[in-house]
Structure 1
Amino acid sequence: MYTDLAEAVESLKDKGFNHTYELGENCITCKELAVKYTVDDLKIVETHSFDQGTDPGSESTVYAIESNTGVKGTLIMSYGMYVDPEKAKLIDRLLKDQS
């Protein structure tokens, strides 16, 4: 188990998750490659959640994601009161597809 978000991200980079995914409008984008993916194109490989204290802004989850073309990256998302509900729906759909 990782002690904080930075440690998790560094460890995931060591495992080959070198790209950065971002939530967009009805898609997830690989920042470095400027490629847009649908939920059907991606698979969550690992998930790690962190709550760094009493500040709700310090709650986050890092997702290790692999595309159907083999692009591995991480997506970091704050949760709690700061989450964008529309973007959270994308993650919810992706998580449901994993079950």
Structure 2
Amino acid sequence: MYRDLADAVESLKEKGFDHTYELGDDCITCKEMEVEYSTEDLSIIETHKFDQGTDPGSESTVYAIESDNGVKGTLIISYGKYVDPQKAELIDRLLESHEA
């Protein structure tokens, strides 16, 4: 589908996912709007996983997300052995709310 992470992000921007979401301590924030969302306020529209080689730290996933008030953006999560457990729990809650 997409060649790499940069290609995915660029294509998603063209689809209107032009904001950047980031993991906070107990919420997900929209960087540009300085707004915090709980995981229940967000819907995952698309998910794309990338593995850039043999290094487990080079794995990443980009999520195309839409908030309940229509803000569309991307959340990029890199996986490695030093993932913050609190942020991993936040990711799990986001994925669980997507499955519900």
Q: Distance in 1 between matches of 2:82 and 2:12?
A: 25
For residue 63 of structure 1, what is the aligned residue in structure 2?
63
| 2:57 aligned partner, one-letter code | G
Q: Deviations over 1:17-75 (max 9, x none)?
A: 00000000110000000000001110111111100001222110001110000000001
| TM-score normalized with structure 1 length | 0.94
| TM-score normalized with structure 2 length | 0.94
Structure 2 gap segments, 5+ residues each: none
Q: List, as ranges, runs of 4+ consecutive aligned residues in structure 1 with deviation greater than 2 Å.
A: none
Percent identity (aligned): 75
Aligned length: 99
Cα RMSD of the aligned pairs, angstroms, is 1.0
Q: Distance in 2 between matches of 1:2 and 1:82?
A: 27
Structure 1 gap segments, 5+ residues each: none
For residue 10 of structure 2, what is the aligned residue in structure 1?
10
